[in-house]
Chains A and B, each alone.
Chain A
Amino acid sequence: MRLTKRFLFAILFLLISLKGLELLYGFFLLENRNIKSAYVSKEKINAEVLILGPCVPVWMISPTILDKHTGLKSFNLAQSHSDLADNFLHLHLYLKNNLPPKYLLLYISPESFDIRYNEFNTYRFASFLGDTVVNDIIKKQDPEYYKWSGFPFMAYAYYSNKINFNVLQGVKHFASGKNKAYFEDGFEPPFEIWKSDSQAFTESYPKNQNFIWSSNREGYLNKIIQICKTFNIKLILFESPIYSQSAKFQPNRSVFINRIKEISNYNKIEYLNFDTMLISNDKDNFKTTINLNKKASEEFTETFGKYLKKHAF
């Protein structure tokens, strides 16, 4: 009897402790200004141009340079390793707390529709569980996580390696009263320590590997298109330069480009493809086959900004 009592007390203690931790983690993650989802949910950004996509735009498009050429205020909402579901949720959270932008620049490439490239990063939305849109997408994209997320603290314990540091940073931001993100406009300049090496170039596309179209990814592009229509946001799809020599490792690249064009035509959306810009020919402009280095990124952003001002805005 004594043992049963102690056992029940221990279970109760454990559940209360986990619930307490869950509340603390949720609070401090929202206080972390360097987590984009938390930042845009707390701060009023109200940008006129929003940039969305995976690592390519986050390390490439500097709002400072873009604003200079377009005359509009922009914010880079892109996130590394993010797929279209991830992008959609970031946009959803942004729109909950901010005025809709006039333009949304969404990075789209053949990789965007192949599940081997980028992913849905559930942990970025752990503190937003409860929002029905977030719940629905997490349930679909990461059902195993969703199943356990109802258990006290499991929403954070499940991806503890991706969470703990951010919680500590949240504590620091809360304690110091910090209200701006480290990268205030969302642009993260590419690290200079990375070097272009031939291995990275060839490993991205093993010989004769075809892209595989994912209807799940296409579904999230449609959701982004839909949300843009609802909020009257002009959506512009774009692809930045890719290293010209890498095209030969992507046999069905043109098929995918055509399919993207079909989608954009059907939805009457602009699709700007810069994949064969002059800078594409020089390997030294790249860090990987699709990621430009700092200098080339600036050059591209200038061209992109001028083009947008002249033709799209």
Chain B
Amino acid sequence: MEFNTISYLILLFSILVLKVLLPEKFKIPLLIFGSFVFIASKNIESLIVLICLSTLNYFLAKNIAFSNSKKKVIPFYLGILFNLSALFLFKYFEQNTQGLSFSFTAINFESSSFIFLIGLSFYTLQNIAYLIEVYHNRTTNNISWINYIFYSSFFPKIVSGPIILPQEFLTQIHKERSLSSDIKTGAQRLIIGLFKKMVIADRLAPYVHYNFDLSDTNNGLTALVALYFFTFQLYFDFSGYTDMAIGSAKMLGIDIKENFQFPLRAASVTDFWRRWHISLTSWLTKYVFYPLSYHLRNLKITGTLLAITVTFIISGLWHGLGFNFLLYALCHALYLCIELITKKSRARFSNYFSSSLNKLIGIIITFNLISLSFIFFRAKSLDKSFSFLNSIFSFNNFLPSNWLNDFVSKLAIGGDLESQFNLYITLALTILFLIFEKKIVNAFLTERFKWRYAMIFILMIFLFGIFKSREQFIYIQF
């Protein structure tokens, strides 16, 4: 059951109606039941593993909390080990004819993992964070088991986050809230998410799939534009998912923190990471980068550079055990290290231009750097990544010799008028949304329900949305 399906909307609506009708004391059991239905609809193993891991983490955290500083070391490391083992076992192993083996993954949609467990990578990070917080006495340990299960399994965030800590989540349960305001703002967010996913991301998906996976004789410009398409697809797919997650949670009376802040408008890679997948970046910063930088503080700038590199390597490995993800992560580590080293000289250089021009140049450079790193993220193998890079930087073959055959037809998957029409519609919708994204968010996502905006977006979904061959959310595989 994915967010962009009627069955999900029916589930959400049913839970919402029951939540309104039932007394307050049934709120948590109802939401847990709804989450269990949602998870079990994907596969029952996911639900069993989630309950087992959450219970284990809960009792280990209790043990840590009630042990003295020497004794709590054992349950703490045991907990970390359990979580990482689960991640390794279920995420990095695959079933093949020779039995179980490591799967060196790349982004693909034919997951052959041992058992596909929904949201494992995300709730593992949450569990680890909780153990660390309890270990350092930074959080209260008076959470009940049922509340911990509620927090772990809460269906709007189970698939791909955002990653949040139990105290951020559970403190909201008994807060007084305005039901109508929650429903209005949540529904608006849900509509925007559906629009991003069905009208933009899923329309871009076949073009990306064709140019990355099927066609291998691209000229530089075609490859570059296909790469931009993927950057847009990934952004709209993941941020669309996040909008739907935040919107659904809001309708059910839970606030989930933001995961994106207009990342494609970032003026530097550092800025990009403050705006992209914010919950993962915050987790890595808090639990990997800060401790590492502290330990390496004697090495001064080298220590910081090392900490950045290690943090990104962990981020890459979290995505998958493949060289592609490692190179993707190393690209970003390199970008950030260069930005850090050249900070002063860049500041001096920027004095020569106006601030708006500086920002524009920054956005263009950052967008291209980010897109280039996404080659490793998207291509199915290292060979494919390098041949794609080669195409982009093959200056002799950068411009297509025949614009219709080698550029438009390749991008549109066909040179006929219908294919071109669909490509142009997709491009127009993508670019228009990107240009007016901030305005749309500010005007539409307010406390007051904007009926006109809502109707327009719903009609646009019906007119241009992809209902058939629905693409699954890209981040569901991580």
Contacts and interface: CB of A to CB of B under 8 A. Distances in A.
B463 A164 contact: yes
Contacts of A162: 418
B454 interface: yes
Interface in A161-198: 161-162, 164-166, 168, 191, 193
B201 to A, nearest CB: 14
A231 B421 CA distance: 40
B422 A157 contact: no
Interface in A233-281: none
Nearest to A147: B6
B463 A157 contact: yes
Contacts of B180: 3
Contacts of B409: 193
A159 B422 CA distance: 12
Contact of A157 (B203, B415, B421, B467): B467
B464 interface: yes
Contacts of B459: 14, 17-18, 21
A165 B421 contact: yes
A116 interface: no
Interface string A132-174: 0000000000000100100001100111111011101000000
A153 B409 CA distance: 30
B443 interface: no
A307 interface: no
A162 B455 CA distance: 23
Given A3-B180, A193-B405, A193-B415, A160 B465 contact: yes
A310 interface: no
A161 B458 contact: no
B421 A164 contact: yes
B344 interface: no
A21 B449 CA distance: 25
Contacts of B455: 10, 13-14, 17
A160 B463 contact: yes
A14 B459 CA distance: 8
Contacts of A193: 404-405, 409, 415
Chain B interface main SS type: helix
Nearest to B463: A160
B435 interface: no
Interface string B55-75: 000000000000000000000
B384 to A, nearest CB: 15
B468 interface: yes
A166 B417 CA distance: 10
Given A6-B451, A10-B454, A166 B418 contact: yes
Contacts of B467: 148, 154, 157-160
B48 interface: no
Contacts of A148: 467
B462 interface: yes
Contacts of B454: 10
A117 B415 CA distance: 22
Contacts of A6: 449, 451
Contact of A164 (B415, B417, B464, B468): B464
A3 B180 CA distance: 9
Contacts of B418: 162, 165-166
A128 to B, nearest CB: 18
Contact of B425 (A145, A159, A164, A191): A164
B422 A161 contact: yes
Given A153-B462, A165-B417, A165-B418, A158 B468 contact: yes
Interface in A10-25: 10, 13-14, 17-18, 21
A38 to B, nearest CB: 15
Contacts of A158: 467-468
Nearest to B454: A10
B466 interface: yes
Given A10-B455, A191-B415, A160 B464 contact: yes
A157 B463 CA distance: 6
Contacts of A160: 462-467
A129 B196 CA distance: 30
Contacts of A17: 455, 459
Nearest to B422: A161
A168 B464 CA distance: 14
Given A161-B203, A165-B421, A21 B415 contact: no
Nearest to B425: A164
Contacts of B462: 18, 21, 153-154, 157, 160
A309 B451 CA distance: 67
Interface string B439-454: 0000000000101001
B380 to A, nearest CB: 17
A36 to B, nearest CB: 14
Contacts of B417: 165
A165 B421 CA distance: 7
A162 B416 CA distance: 13
B246 to A, nearest CB: 21
A166 B180 CA distance: 42
A55 to B, nearest CB: 13
B425, B458, B459, B464: most-surrounded residue (chain A CB, <10 A):
B459
A161 B415 contact: no
Contacts of A191: 415
A168 B463 CA distance: 13
Nearest to B464: A160
A153 B449 CA distance: 25
Nearest to A17: B459
A22 to B, nearest CB: 10
B415, B451, B463: most-surrounded residue (chain A CB, <10 A):
B463
14 contacts: A10-B451, A13-B455, A14-B459, A21-B459, A148-B467, A157-B465, A160-B464, A160-B466, A161-B203, A161-B466, A164-B421, A164-B425, A165-B422, A168-B421
6 nearest interchain CB pairs? A165-B418, A165-B421, A157-B462, A158-B467, A193-B405, A161-B422
Interface of B: 180, 203, 404-405, 409, 415, 417-418, 421-422, 425, 449, 451, 454-455, 458-459, 462-468
Given A145-B468, A157-B463, 20 more contacts: A3-B180, A6-B449, A6-B451, A14-B455, A14-B458, A157-B467, A158-B467, A158-B468, A159-B468, A160-B465, A160-B466, A161-B203, A161-B422, A165-B418, A166-B418, A168-B421, A191-B415, A193-B404, A193-B409, A193-B415
Interface of A: 3, 6, 10, 13-14, 17-18, 21, 145, 148, 153-154, 157-162, 164-166, 168, 191, 193
